[in-house]
Chain A
Amino acid sequence: MRFVTVSGPPSSGKTAVIIKTLEHLQKAGQKVGVVKFDCLFTDDDELYRKNGIAVRKGLAGALCPDHYFVSNVEECVQWGLLEGLDVLVSESAGLCNRCSPHIREVLAICVIDNLSGTGTPKKIGPMLKAADVVVITKGDIVSQAEREVFAARVNMVNTKARLLHVNGITGQGSFELSTLWTGAEETVTVEGKKLRFSMPAALCSYCLGETRIGSDYQMGNVRKMDLDMPTGFKTDGGPQELGPMNTGGES
């Protein structure tokens, strides 16, 4: 079975790109499936089912979606094998822009759209940087110049990736993408394989359900911003005995 991880910011067109691309494989008689990861809600599974694609969905709920993904991905691969799939796709949104569900030796796709602004390639970091193929969507509604500028920005973040323009509505470019999927390596398990990029760090009191705000309630993996506050500043709301105000920039 070919296994492909697809990631990308919310609303970048991942689902549309996946459906259009799998259509070409279905036409060629292949059995295809998707595992959709999301946070709180998704009805994309219905959309996949309607298109004759085997589907399972996973909602991370209160958990960090990336940690949830990596804790479940091996089981998903085994599900795909049991279903007798030729191609299995995992779809996950890079919800905090810090994550990257990409696994070594597994074809990694990042979907990103032209409308998201030229700063986006730098902002989303790991999921773009670690991808083998970058798919750029919504090229049909912006100018040629903006497409070129955006592609150049993507190229600055990830110089090695193959870059493809796909239109999620008409499917233009999806056939070309499908040829890369069928050329992916065989996967029988991801057990023991490594993530290309570490997951966002967690394990502070808020991970465990704390809701109150303030230093007294914070434990574990906590890091404070440097706001150049006066020395001796207290965050407990009590009376302040302040040293001189920091001048900023020098600390």
Chain B
Amino acid sequence: MTRQLETLTVEAVFARWPFVQQQLADNGLGEIADKPESRLGEFLDTDQLQDLDGFIDVMEDFLGTNEEKVSEVTITGGRAKDGSPEPVTELTVKVGEVICIVGPTGSGKSRLLADIEWVARGDTPTGRHVTINGQVPDDKWRFSSEFKLVAQLSQNMNFVMDLSVEEFLNLHAESRQAADPQEKIQRIWNWANELAGEPFAFDTPVTSLSGGQSRALMIADTAVLSSSPVVLIDEIENAGIDRQQALDILIREEKIVLMATHDPILALMGDRRVIINNGAMQKVIEPSEKEKANLIELRALDEKLMGLRHRLRMGERLDEV
């Protein structure tokens, strides 16, 4: 038995595998829960321990927690729209990295993201291959509801459910069968409030959140509760949300962040930038020292613009800017 269940305390087992408590209760062993500090070996014989171990296997398979964590995704270049070989032959993105994707409309950004989502095996129009942790991944990434490689956040997205923030987060946590849901829900709410600036309550209906608050809640929720290791962001509008902190949260939760953007500040926040044209990755560049220095100036400009916006809102004239 690799888990050595007999040596673990009841408390530790319940914390790690919350579904065990119910399983024990269903087998008439519910009273074990009253002695959280005792070791499981004191209550269960070898057969029972083996059964429980098997049950945890099945549940972990079902919940997808047994999976090897996705730590990197590699895209092997295919061909451009005109059939020529893709200039970038290999791109590996790692957990905690922010990659910006830039290119004109129709250049092939969506296809690149679709190739990642579909974990292409040379069977898409671009002929690209995608591997996870250096290996050809199995079919579950394509078809199951539990394993989706890519979570998406875009400006067009709205909450449509008629629920309060708390009910909404509970529902999501429940559908994900998350361990320690209350802690996660509290964390999402704290982070979303930090991101949004304008605070909102647990009992605020999700449909009445402002644009910035909705975006903040979506980002914090995706960071904490989504099972997808890759988060795709389609622009984050610079209104009512702290964008740097939003990216930090996703990185802290060990996501791979891909961001389609033409906003200079966002683009320079990325670790690398992929330039797409003619249906192919043309170049991968890192922000230069000069660009990084410019970021400070761009932020100052941005703040100035935000200040003007605020003054306009307050009914002032903009005779002096």
Contact with B along A206-248 (1 / 0, CB 8 A): 0000000000000000000000000000000000000000000
Q: Which residue of A lies closest to B221 (CB)?
A: A145
Smallest Cβ distance from B236 to chain A, in angstroms? 14
A residues 148-188 near B (Cβ < 8 Å) are 148-149, 151-155, 162-165, 170, 172-173, 175-176, 179
Smallest Cβ distance from A68 to chain B, in angstroms? 32
> Which residues of chain B have a CB within 8 Å of any CB of chain A?
110, 114, 118, 123-125, 142-146, 148, 151-154, 156-161, 168-169, 171-172, 175-176, 214, 218, 221-222, 225-227
Q: Are A145 and B222 in contact (CB under 8 A)?
A: yes
A-B contact pairs, 25 of them (CB 8 A): A114-B160, A139-B152, A140-B152, A140-B157, A143-B158, A144-B157, A144-B218, A144-B222, A144-B226, A145-B172, A145-B218, A146-B159, A146-B160, A148-B227, A149-B172, A149-B175, A151-B145, A155-B145, A155-B146, A163-B143, A163-B144, A163-B145, A164-B143, A175-B114, A179-B123
Smallest Cβ distance from B187 to chain A, in angstroms? 14
Judged by a CB distance under 8 angstroms, whether A142 is at the interface is yes
Tell me, in angstroms, the Cα distance from A164 to B144 when the chains sit together.
8
Residues of A within 8 A of B227 (CB): 148
Residue among B118, B124, B156, B227 with the highest chain A CB neighbour number at 10 A: B118
Residues of A within 8 A of B159 (CB): 142-143, 146
Q: State the 4 A-B residue pairs at the shortest beta-carbon distance, nearest first.
A: A162-B143, A152-B175, A151-B145, A155-B145
Judged by a CB distance under 8 angstroms, whether A115 is at the interface is yes
Residues of B within 8 A of A26 (CB): none
Tell me, in angstroms, the Cα distance from A115 to B160 when the chains sit together.
7
From A148, A152, A170, contact of B226 by CB (8 A): A148
From A142, A148, A163, A173, contact of B157 by CB (8 A): A142
Residues of A within 8 A of B221 (CB): 143-145
Q: Are A145 and B114 in contact (CB under 8 A)?
A: no
Tell me, in angstroms, the Cα distance from A143 to B156 when the chains sit together.
9
Q: Which residue of A lies closest to B231 (CB)?
A: A144
Q: Are A170 and B222 in contact (CB under 8 A)?
A: no
> Which residues of chain A have a CB within 8 Å of any CB of chain B?
114-115, 117-118, 139-149, 151-155, 162-165, 170, 172-173, 175-176, 179
Q: Are B218 and A143 in contact (CB under 8 A)?
A: yes
Tell me, in angstroms, the Cα distance from A118 to B175 when the chains sit together.
11
Tell me, in angstroms, the Cα distance from A221 to B210 when the chains sit together.
53
Tell me, in angstroms, the Cα distance from A167 to B148 when the chains sit together.
16
Residues of A within 8 A of B156 (CB): 140-141
Known: A140-B156, A145-B226. 4 other contacts (CB 8 A): A139-B152, A153-B175, A155-B146, A172-B110
Tell me, in angstroms, the Cα distance from A142 to B157 when the chains sit together.
5
Q: Which residue of A lies closest to B169 (CB)?
A: A145
Q: Known interface pairs A145-B222, A163-B145, A179-B123. Does A170 touch B175 (Cβ–Cβ under 8 Å)?
A: no
Residues of A within 8 A of B168 (CB): 145
Tell me, in angstroms, the Cα distance from A173 to B116 when the chains sit together.
12
Residues of B within 8 A of A114 (CB): 160
Q: Are A175 and B172 in contact (CB under 8 A)?
A: no
Residues of B within 8 A of A155 (CB): 144-146
Residues of B within 8 A of A142 (CB): 157-160
Smallest Cβ distance from B224 to chain A, in angstroms? 10
From A148, A153, A175, contact of B125 by CB (8 A): A175
Tell me, in angstroms, the Cα distance from A152 to B146 when the chains sit together.
7
Tell me, in angstroms, the Cα distance from A153 to B151 when the chains sit together.
18
Smallest Cβ distance from A169 to chain B, in angstroms? 11
Q: Which residue of A lies closest to B234 (CB)?
A: A140
Q: Which residue of B lies closest to A118 (CB)?
A: B161
Residues of A within 8 A of B110 (CB): 170, 172
Q: Are A143 and B157 in contact (CB under 8 A)?
A: yes
Residues of A within 8 A of B225 (CB): 145, 148
Smallest Cβ distance from B65 to chain A, in angstroms? 15
Tell me, in angstroms, the Cα distance from A143 to B214 when the chains sit together.
9
Tell me, in angstroms, the Cα distance from A11 to B225 when the chains sit together.
30
Q: Are B153 and A144 in contact (CB under 8 A)?
A: yes
Q: Are B143 and A148 in contact (CB under 8 A)?
A: no
Q: Which residue of B lies closest to A140 (CB)?
A: B156
Q: Which residue of B lies closest to A136 (CB)?
A: B145
Residues of A within 8 A of B123 (CB): 179
Q: Known interface pairs A148-B175, A148-B176, A148-B226. Does A141 touch B157 (Cβ–Cβ under 8 Å)?
A: yes
Q: Which residue of A lies closest to B144 (CB)?
A: A163
Smallest Cβ distance from B258 to chain A, in angstroms? 14
Smallest Cβ distance from A86 to chain B, in angstroms? 19
Tell me, in angstroms, the Cα distance from A118 to B65 when the chains sit together.
24
Residues of B within 8 A of A164 (CB): 142-143
Tell me, in angstroms, the Cα distance from A162 to B148 when the chains sit together.
12
Residues of A within 8 A of B152 (CB): 139-140, 144, 147
Q: Are B218 and A172 in contact (CB under 8 A)?
A: no
Tell me, in angstroms, the Cα distance from A128 to B118 when the chains sit together.
23
Smallest Cβ distance from A16 to chain B, in angstroms? 17
Tell me, in angstroms, the Cα distance from A146 to B161 when the chains sit together.
8
Residues of B within 8 A of A163 (CB): 143-145
Residue among B123, B145, B169, B214 with the highest chain A CB neighbour number at 10 A: B145
Smallest Cβ distance from B186 to chain A, in angstroms? 16
